[in-house]
């Protein structure tokens, strides 16, 4: 255990910002996500996405005024009169953290996430796992610092994930919401390992270590719940090819990356959906989670075994899909994917 495994100012800023943002996201979820939501009602996650991005943009501007933030959201839609109510809700939630913030300032803060990435920048997914957020299951606030196309620091805030509560078989239920508790912060810095701590700081940091399993028949596969994000049929075929009998576990967001880094799974896949064969991952969907896995001893590449290349703007334009493993099984899974033509 360690009281504070990260000494750099950047790491301490990122952890504090993600912790604060995760607690804000949890508050919005608990106050706005109700049984009365309609099937297509995304208003709670819309409020949370914008509020979290504005909060982290504000904290980053205070910490490093010249720093660049590349975020998922843009405020254009909020400026229309039809969305004035949503903008007021966002400002009201933010005022618990930034008492003086106005609606106009909210839009300006959100728009700090636009533009083209320079050599060094931060990237943010304010609410990774929209459906998980709306189902009160897994979602994450994901913040990373990149330099020259390489992730140097990543922090995941997972308000519905409680890693210390996970047993050797609990991952099979976690995608359904098991493991809820204080929530988790998972953080990694290049060369400093991966660590986790409860969101409420109730216990010290614990080092994360990927699973040591080498037998592909024992592999536990994690995948997205949303079918549009992956090829569910090919994942089932991959499981059969590897000889694993455990059914793939559906879980939203980069919370999967924290679970894999904690040794509670061996394989995580983002195969190309048949409906979106040319899709390329957004940098904010992978940056923070990728370093958490690598620093825990795991490995992450695209489906062709190439390292993830974050140096081509807002997408992983040179990569096809994503494969993360405990490291021990990576080559075996790549080989199985080649046999399947995935």
159 — phi, psi (to 5°)? Answer: -65, -20
Residue recorded with tokens 């080498």: 214
CA–CA dist 293, 141 (Å, integer): 16
pLDDT confidence tier of residue 165, bands split at 50, 70 and 90: very low
Low-confidence winner among 32-41, 99-108, 233-242, 287-296 (lowest mean pLDDT): 32-41
CA–CA dist 100, 145 (Å, integer): 28
CA–CA dist 64, 78 (Å, integer): 26
Low-confidence winner among 16-20, 94-98, 132-136, 298-302 (lowest mean pLDDT): 132-136
Domains of the chain, by residue range, sit at 9-207, 216-340
Beta bridge partners of 121: 146
Residue recorded with tokens 């992978």: 286
Of 17 and 76, the structure prediction assigns the larger pLDDT to 17
Q: What mean pLDDT do residues 73-79 have?
A: 88
Instruction: Report the Cα–Cα distance between both ends of the chain, in Å, rounded.
Output: 40
Interacting residues of 49 by C-beta distance below 8 A, sequence separation 6+? 72, 73, 126, 127
- Rounded percentage of the chain residues whose pLDDT exceeds 90: 72
Residue recorded with tokens 């904690």: 262
Q: What mean pLDDT do residues 268-295 have?
A: 92
Beta bridge partners of 124: 71, 143
Q: What mean pLDDT do residues 252-278 have?
A: 91
For the chain, the maximum distance between any two Cα atoms, rounded to a whole number of angstroms, is 58
The answer, yes or no, to whether residue 251 has pLDDT greater than 70, is: yes
CA–CA dist 108, 35 (Å, integer): 33
Nearest to 26 by CA among 65, 55, 57: 55
Residues annotated as catalytic (active site), given as ranges: 49, 130
CATH dotted code for 9-207: 3.30.540.10
Q: What is the pTM assigned to this prediction?
A: 0.92
38 — phi, psi (to 5°)? Answer: -80, 170
CA–CA dist 40, 276 (Å, integer): 21
Interacting residues of 32 by C-beta distance below 8 A, sequence separation 6+? 43, 44, 47, 48
- List the structure tokens of 287: 């940056």
The answer, yes or no, to whether residue 1 has pLDDT greater than 70, is: no
Beta bridge partners of 300: 324
CATH dotted code for 216-340: 3.40.190.80
Report CA dihedral (49, 55, 58, 62) to the nearest 10 degrees: -140
Report CA dihedral (331, 332, 333, 336) to the nearest 10 degrees: 120
């Amino acid at each position: 255990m360690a009281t504070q495994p990260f000494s750099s100012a950047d790491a301490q800023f990122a952890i504090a910002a993600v912790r604060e943002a995760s607690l804000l996201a949890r508050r919005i979820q608990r106050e706005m996500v109700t049984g009365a939501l309609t099937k297509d009602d995304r208003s709670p996650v819309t409020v949370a996405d914008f509020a979290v991005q504005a909060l982290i943009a504000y904290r980053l501007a205070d910490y490093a005024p010249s720093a660049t933030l590349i975020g998922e959201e843009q405020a254009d839609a909020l400026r229309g009169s039809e969305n004035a109510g949503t903008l007021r809700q966002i400002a009201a939630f933010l005022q618990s953290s930034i008492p003086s913030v106005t609606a106009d300032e909210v839009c300006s803060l959100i728009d700090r996430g636009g533009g083209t990435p320079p050599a060094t920048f931060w990237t943010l997914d304010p609410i990774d796992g929209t459906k998980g957020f709306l189902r009160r299951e897994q979602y994450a606030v994901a913040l990373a610092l990149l330099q020259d196309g390489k992730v140097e620091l990543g922090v995941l805030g997972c308000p519905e994930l409680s890693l210390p509560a996970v047993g050797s078989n609990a991952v099979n239920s976690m995608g359904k919401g098991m493991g809820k508790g204080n929530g988790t912060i998972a953080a990694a810095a290049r060369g400093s390992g991966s660590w986790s701590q409860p969101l409420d700081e109730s216990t010290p940091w614990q080092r994360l270590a990927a699973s040591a399993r080498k037998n592909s028949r024992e592999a536990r596969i994690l995948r997205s719940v949303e079918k549009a994000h992956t090829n569910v049929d090919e994942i089932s075929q991959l499981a059969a090819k590897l000889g694993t009998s455990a059914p793939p576990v559906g879980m939203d967001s980069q919370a999967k990356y924290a679970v894999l880094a904690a040794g509670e799974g061996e394989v995580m896949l983002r195969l190309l959906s048949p409906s979106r064969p040319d899709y390329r991952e957004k940098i904010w969907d992978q940056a923070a989670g990728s370093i958490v896995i690598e620093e825990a001893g795991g490995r992450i590449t695209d489906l062709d075994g190439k390292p993830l290349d974050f140096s081509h703007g807002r997408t992983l334009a040179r990569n096809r899909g994503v494969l993360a493993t405990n490291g021990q099984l990576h080559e075996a899974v790549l080989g199985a994917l080649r046999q399947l033509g995935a």
